[in-house]
Amino acid sequence: MTASVTVTERAAERITQIVSNEPANIMLRVSVEGGGCSGFEYHFDLVPNAEPEDILIEHAGAKLLVDSFSLTYLAGSEIDYVDDLMSASFKIKNPNATAACGCGTSFSVRSRSVTRVLADRTLAPLAIG
């Protein structure tokens, strides 16, 4: 399942740089949450440990966590790091996104039925789109 999300060399280098300045065992987690101007948004967080539902993606010495819920939306994605004149940030090329806002962190997907995790961790069907 981890092969469904790829990390570029540039992203792996940047992840390694970021966590090298943190206490031992800190990892970067990417997640998808409801919000943003297009319906969903990407979040990047430093976390002290993996959760039971996390998938560990390793590339060129970098470790990236993705929770199983977010993996549904990130399947087939490529995570890159871009440093240009306008900005420096992680960019996600997501084949599931049907629209995105100008900021690059918010996206929407086609209408389909998925399962979402409620605050109390129960599952409920959710129509997207």
Domain boundaries, given as residue ranges, for the chain: 2-128
Average pLDDT over residues 94-104: 69
Q: 2-128 adopts what CATH topology?
A: Hypothetical Protein Aq_1857; Chain: A; (2.60.300)
Query: Helix/strand/coil (H, E, C) string of 39-61?
Result: EEEEEEEEECCCCCCEEEEEECC
pLDDT, one tens digit per residue, over 31-81 is: 988 777 667 788 999 999 999 999 999 999 999 999 988 998 888 999 999
How far apart (Å, rounded) are the C-alpha atoms in residues 34 and 73?
11
Nearest to 22 by CA among 43, 58, 47, 54: 47
**Considering the entire predicted model, what is its pTM?**
0.74
